[in-house]
Amino acid sequence: MPRPRRVAADTLRRFVPTPLARALSSSSIRYVRSVFAEEYESLSYVVDWRDAFVASDEIDSVTCNVNDVVALAAVSRHITEFDLIVALHSAAGDSLMQVERSRSALSRRRGRLLVFFGNEYDDMAAKRALLRDVAAEYVGSQLPIEAARWLYEGCGSTVLAAPAALNPIVYRPGPADRSVDIGFRGDRYASALIGDDERARIIEYFEHDGPARGLRVDIAFIRLPRREWSRLLARSVGTIGAEAGTYYLERDDTTRDRAARYIAAHPRAPLLEVLERCYPPRPARMSGKAISSRHLEAVGTKTCQLLVRGSYNGILHAGEHYIAVTPDLGNIEDAIRRFGDGAERRRIVESAYEMAMDAHTYAQRVRSILAVVLAGHGSSARAG
């Protein structure tokens, strides 16, 4: 994420020989490792989107790490040479610091601008303002398309559906004989800032009660680099989760900011108290719940998913691509029984894998997006 220390570190890295930088990235000294490690390797979809654009035969692409001020300055000087400029989730996610610094360059571009925002439930007023101020032609959203159009209404940008997808090069089917029944790695989300604890509830259930059910459980609240995460999924029969995002989608963060202030003043407040004090009695008119890259990653390794029932952008369907668990865990006994049926698991993972490979890889996402944003440019467009 762009922040002063990261900008300094990423700029410094360009002056260090690659073999040395690779060696330092695994240093036993935490600070040295934090400077030289590829931070976004533990947020797989960020790297997967970038790799898919770079691999596309339809564009001649130049990549730029916006945290590297030397690289950013060089690309900014040549901004008029590009037919398409793409700001990925890593550049426009939790911090817009570096993109904000590029406003003047983006405003004098001649090509089209496509922006992908990370975490489309946080700092939305600033993100919407950025689209308007630089007159971005397109915004790619991970949200269901109806919710995305509502969220970005009035920004002047055409909204493109860009939900999470599968990178089949990294996330490949694992062996039939697996050593873990339920595997999970990830952050403990601040449920009070999202407005529900559906994900936390199902994870805590299997963490505490899974072993008593005879399940081999491997759950830890850390992030793994994408290849390590892929290996864990590949040796896990199943994994667990819920849709990403919030039911309380807003254009101005009013509810989220109110909850953040309340939590700061009452750090020990339980979730129910925060919900009662800060959230409206019913969710917002538009839900921001969406499929996550983690769901497609498990599909790629043919790992059976027990997920809180949801819409998942219309991509994953309960009973066909995953075993559905109700938000209150009321059907957990039946879900575990179905999970224990080997034939049922195989039917689900094969159906999900075939679906993803047919229409939901990152290469396919990029191809469909470029068909729209490069219309009229022919096949020799240059993207930055």
pLDDT one-digit tens code per residue, 337-381 = 999 999 999 999 999 999 999 999 999 999 999 999 998 665 556
Whole-Å CA distances, 364 to 164, 165, 198: 11, 9, 31
Query: Pairing mode, if any, of strands 138-141 and 158-161?
Result: parallel
pLDDT over 90 (residue 94) = no
pLDDT computed for residue 18 by the predictor? 75
Instruction: Return phi, psi of residue 53, to 5°.
Output: -65, -45
- Each residue's pLDDT tens digit, 289-340: 999 999 999 999 999 999 999 999 999 999 999 999 999 999 999 999 999 9
Tell me what the mean pLDDT of segment 12-29 comes to. Answer: 75
pLDDT at 34 over 70: no
Is pLDDT at 186 greater than 70 in this prediction? Answer: yes
Give the model's pLDDT for residue 2: 73
Which of 5-14, 86-95, 274-283 shows the lowest per-residue confidence on average (mean pLDDT)?
5-14
| Helix H or strand E encompassing 138 | strand 138-141
Q: What is the pLDDT of residues 267-286, one digit of tens each?
A: 999 999 999 999 988 776 78
What is the model's pLDDT at position 20? 77
pLDDT of residue 383: 74
Is 90 exceeded by the pLDDT of residue 9?
Answer: no
| CATH entry, 180-359, from 1.10.10.10, 3.40.50.2300, 3.30.70.2190, 3.40.50.2000 | 3.40.50.2000
Q: Which residues of 239-274 are buried (b: 16+ CB within 10 A; e: fewer)?
A: bbbbbbbbbbbbbebebbbebbebbeeeeebeeeeb
Phi, psi of 174 (to 5 degrees): -90, 180
Rounded to whole angstroms, how far apart are CA atoms 51 and 265? 42
Q: Which tokens go with 266?
A: 């009452």
Measured CA angle at 236 (ends 293, 187), to 5 deg: 45
User: What is the H or E stretch that residue 236 is in?
Assistant: strand 236-241
Residue 223's pLDDT is what?
A: 87
* DSSP label of 325: E
Report pLDDT for 38.
Answer: 66
At 125-170, the pLDDT tens digits run 999 999 999 999 999 999 999 999 999 999 999 999 999 999 999 9
* Annotated domain spans of the chain: 4-165+362-383, 180-359
The per-residue b/e assignment along 69-99, b for 16 or more CB within 10 angstroms, e otherwise, is bebbeebbeebeebbbbbbbbbbbbebbbbb
